[in-house]
Chains A and B, each alone.
Chain A
Amino acid sequence: MPDVSMVVNGEARSGDVEGRTLLVDFLREGLGLTGTHVGCDTSQCGACVVHVDGQAVKSCTIFALEADRAEVTTIEGIAGPDGSLSPMQKSFRDHHGLQCGFCTPGMVMTALKLLENNAKPSEAEVREGLKGNFCRCTGYQNIVRTILAASGQDIPVTSVE
């Protein structure tokens, strides 16, 4: 079986994979990085989003060998070395941007790139940027607020009836 090697969350990692092994399967089963989730396996839901050479990618939509020699960042690489949450993760917690949490790793990875490419997005731009990430719990409202807050913008107070 071919060797694959990549830098994952700053560490050189390698392993044997089959040609058909998906990147997400290598990350989860080969490297034990189970923070990256598989929701739909048909490149729609976005639970599997990771960064490959600086771009958000659905890791169920590329083979591990396509990421050979690439720099890969997964959700495990986002918090500080001491486990302290990154500002984006903290914003998800502070603004209740998750309920069951299944989509959250992909949401965080997509949100980070969204703000990297557009530091002060409008609400519409946030919603557009999230079109490849499905959430079946929150109705998206708090995720959008989370990301707007993480960008340092004021967010409207939600009224409670």
Chain B
Amino acid sequence: MSYYAPTSLGDVWPLLAEGEARVVAGGTDLFPTQGDGPPPSALLDISRVDGLRGIDHDDDGWRIGGATTWSDIVAAPLPPAFDGLKAAALQVGSVQIQNVGTLAGNLCNASPAADGVPPLLTLEAEVALTSAGGTRRLTLTNFLRGVRQTALVPGELLTALHIPRQPTGALSSFVKLGSRRYLVISIAMVAAQIWLDEAGRIGGVRVAVGACSPVARRLFGLEQSLIGLRPSDLVSFSMASDALDTLSPIDDVRGSAEYRRAAVERLIRDALGQAVERSDG
């Protein structure tokens, strides 16, 4: 197996163009899926590429470089709109995995249970896909095409995530259900973001659910139904019978579709409650 670790993007393109190399950043998803099978013929390690790691901020929002680790995100000074993303980062594997694994890798791996996706959906993140010919930007929804499927074409690299400016006062949360507390793949998870209007009522909400459809989804109908409620209503609001209809949970080793559907309703209430709780602090 060949192993390449270029230090500049210019050196990445010829290696990508050959089409043989599997791109890795931390590699933490590669090892468990590898099993005893033969390794890829070549690995292209992008973790040393100059300028790919780190978080920048300007008037338009935030840029998270493609080699930025979960631990980098936890340590970064980010506003409360990112609390959900940070909470997700802290629940990916263990600290030793968070030190190596990357958010961009989580997206490219395109698991339905990718912990990074629901919070990024509530942040309305976009991805920058760069090739020797230039960069295109896609919304996360357009990037994630299905189970283990992305819009990446040969020769492209996910170089950054772009997160636009967030609503003033936005609070956020992330709730994950696994078979135990630690080191688990999600059975279901919910990310929420809430901001209040001047009257202290809910001015806007974003809710995204993961591991209950091929790609995590925002629940736009539910979001609309919550606008104008008081924060205290979130505990007991009546959820429309069709609120979860866009989800399509499956039966698998981690849980049944029926269980997931029941759990998600509870997780949504928990996530909304946790997000809004932060407004009192």
B3 A19 Cβ-Cβ under 8 A = yes
Q: Which residues of chain B have C-beta atoms less than 8 A from A5's C-beta?
A: none
Q: Out of B32, B43, B183, which one reaches A19, CB within 8 Å?
A: B43
Q: Which residues of chain B have C-beta atoms less than 8 A from A66's C-beta?
A: 5, 27, 45, 47
Q: How many A-B residue pairs lie within 8 Å, measured between CB atoms?
A: 73
Q: Which residues of chain B have C-beta atoms less than 8 A from A145's C-beta?
A: none
A132 B95 Cβ-Cβ under 8 A = yes
Q: Which of B10-18, B96-104, B127-135 contacts A (4 or more CB under 8 A)?
A: B96-104
Distance between Cα atoms of A17 and B135 in the complex (Å): 36
Interface size class of chain A, counting residues whose CB lies under 8 Å from the partner chain: 20 to 34
Chain A's closest residue to B99 (CB) is: A55
A58 within 8 Å of B by Cβ? yes
B167 within 8 Å of A by Cβ? no
Distance between Cα atoms of A56 and B5 in the complex (Å): 21
Of residues 53 through 75 on chain A, the ones whose CB sits less than 8 Å from some CB of chain B are 55-58, 60-63, 65-66, 68
Beyond A46-B96, A58-B96, A61-B100, whether A19 also contacts B2 by CB under 8 A is yes
Chain A's closest residue to B180 (CB) is: A131
Chain B's closest residue to A53 (CB) is: B99
Beyond A20-B39, A57-B100, A61-B28, whether A132 also contacts B93 by CB under 8 A is yes
Q: Which residues of chain B have C-beta atoms less than 8 A from A133's C-beta?
A: 94
A65 B99 Cβ-Cβ under 8 A = no
Chain B's closest residue to A60 (CB) is: B31
10 closest Cβ pairs, A-B complex: A132-B94, A19-B3, A131-B182, A19-B1, A55-B99, A20-B1, A58-B96, A20-B39, A65-B3, A131-B94
Q: What residues make up the interface of B, taking CB atoms closer than 8 Å to A?
A: 1-3, 5, 26-28, 31-32, 39, 42-43, 45, 47, 71, 93-97, 99-100, 181-183
- A-B pairs with beta carbons under 8 Å apart, 14 shown: A19-B39, A20-B3, A20-B39, A43-B32, A44-B183, A49-B96, A56-B95, A60-B31, A61-B27, A61-B96, A63-B3, A66-B45, A113-B95, A132-B97
